[in-house]
Structure 1
Amino acid sequence: MKRLTFYFDPLSPYAALGFEALPETLAGHSVEVVYRPILLAALLHAMGQKGPAEIEAKRRWTFRQVAWLAHRQGVVLDAPAQHPFNPLPLLRLAWACAAPAGQPGDTPGRWAVEQLFHHVWRGGGADANEPARLAALTQLLAPGQDPGSEAVKQRLRSETEAALTLGVFGVPTIELDGRLFWGQDALPMLRAALDDDPWFRSGAWELAAQPRPGLTRRH
């Protein structure tokens, strides 16, 4: 059985769409999926980047594109009332639904992750951080750990740092056999890897990533 890791932040509409499309991508293969919530803002900060929603022209395009992609996938995608928003309560809730690190079940399951995405992206445009909604979601998920505990906060920090060390730079990122597939639009490429497309054994993967020195921007 293959093992696949899905890195996500519920803040990202592309992660939500990727999550919805993943079962179809994996159809016919025996795959264990591990879900790892991480803080996208920390990835962007580490690389000195802004998120798409923080750049107005890019924000407009992003939400037009994800609305189209949702239409094409035949899924609901309601943008929340505020975006970007602080995803820390949801990320900590996700890890609180898992067992402590090193114990069986120490990552959140698909059902819990699905409820997080639906809370944000199928909430009819409601505020993802509205206290009553967060309380209702917490009650529904019934986490085994306290989302506000230092252990849960540290788990989120350590998982995000580990993802950065691995080379994750955005969400969704899917790791399979040591390869990182970034973005909802990389799912066909992931499927090809699962299908053992000869391209992945030809050396083309490694060759394409070789550095090509060019102009260096001076500040």
Structure 2
Amino acid sequence: MKHLICYLDFVSPYAWLAFARMPEVLQGLSYHAEYRPVLLGALLQQNANPGPAGIPAKRAWTYRHVSWLGHAHGVPLQMPARHPFKPLPLLRLALAHGQDGAVNRFVAETVFRHVWEGGQDALEPGRLDALRHGLAGQLNSQADEETVKQWLRSNTQQAAQAGVFGVPAWEVDGHVFWGLDGLPMLRAYLQGDAWFERQWEACAGVESGLG
């Protein structure tokens, strides 16, 4: 059975789409998924990447694209009232309901739905209180505020060291797969496609033509 580490940030609509589609795309395969929240902004900053929201025309395209993808794949997705927003409260809330920096699928899905269903403000205090109430049964009483912060820092550092530059991303056997459209490639790897032995390293070894 393969072990997948799934890196996610609730601010990313692509992470929500991939999270929702993952069980269907990987159906029938033997794997165990470990969900680890990370701070996407820190990963982008490390790579001097402004992200889609940092380019006005790309921001508009991204919101149209993800809304259409939700429609096309049957995944509920309405843009929240404000986006991007600072996801720290949601990341820390999720981790407070996890273990050792990982959260289970129920916790991740509950937070994702809080953001991406209904088109409301993801950080509105009353809604955050309702989210905490909905997750109360999953609360880790031993995860104090500093522990949660450390888990998030550690997850983000671990992701960066693995070569993760954005979310959603999956790490398995030292291989990193990125993005919603990376799911079929991940499936092929888990099925033992021989392409990976022949081409994975060769593709990364192409010489850069930039100065």
TM-score tier by shorter-chain length is: over 0.9
**1:6 paired residue number:** 6
Taking the aligned partners of 1:135 and 1:52, their CA distance within structure 2 comes to: 30
**1:72 paired residue number:** 72
**1:81 paired residue number:** 81
The reply to whether residue 113 of structure 1 matches residue 112 of structure 2 is no
**1:161 paired residue number:** 157
Structure 1, unmatched stretches of 5+, are none
Taking the aligned partners of 1:189 and 1:72, their CA distance within structure 2 comes to: 20
Structure 2, unmatched stretches of 5+, are none
Letter in 2 for 1:133: R
Q: Could you state the TM-score of these two structures normalised by the residue count of structure 2?
A: 0.95
Taking the aligned partners of 1:46 and 1:167, their CA distance within structure 2 comes to: 11
> Contact 1:3–1:34 (CA<8 Å) still a contact in 2?
yes
Question: Matched residue of 1:4: which SS?
Answer: strand
Q: What are the Cα deviations for residues 26-62 of structure 1, in whole angstroms up to 9, with x where unaligned?
A: 1111211000000000001111111211211000111
Residues 40/146 of structure 1: CA separation in 2 closer, same or farther (3 Å cut): farther
> Contact 1:93–1:147 (CA<8 Å) still a contact in 2?
no
Taking the aligned partners of 1:157 and 1:175, their CA distance within structure 2 comes to: 18
Q: What are the Cα deviations for residues 169-217 of structure 1, in whole angstroms up to 9, with x where unaligned?
A: 000001122110000011111111111112112x21110011413123x
**2:16 paired residue number:** 16
> Contact 2:44–2:165 (CA<8 Å) still a contact in 1?
yes
Q: What are the Cα deviations for residues 46-103 of structure 1, in whole angstroms up to 9, with x where unaligned?
A: 111112112110001111111121111111101100000010000001111112x3xx
**1:193 paired residue number:** 189
Match of 1:174 among 170, 173, 185: 170
Q: Could you state the TM-score of these two structures normalised by the residue count of structure 1?
A: 0.91
Taking the aligned partners of 1:49 and 1:70, their CA distance within structure 2 comes to: 25
Number of residue pairs aligned between Structure 1 and Structure 2: 209
> Contact 1:145–1:152 (CA<8 Å) still a contact in 2?
no
**1:27 paired residue number:** 27
Letter in 2 for 1:24: E
The reply to whether residue 126 of structure 1 matches residue 120 of structure 2 is yes
> Contact 1:146–1:152 (CA<8 Å) still a contact in 2?
no
Q: Percent same amino acid at aligned positions? A: 53
**1:45 paired residue number:** 45
Match of 1:184 among 180, 183, 197: 180
Across the aligned residues of Structure 1 and Structure 2, the Cα RMSD in angstroms comes to 1.4
The reply to whether residue 152 of structure 1 matches residue 148 of structure 2 is yes
Taking the aligned partners of 1:83 and 1:148, their CA distance within structure 2 comes to: 28
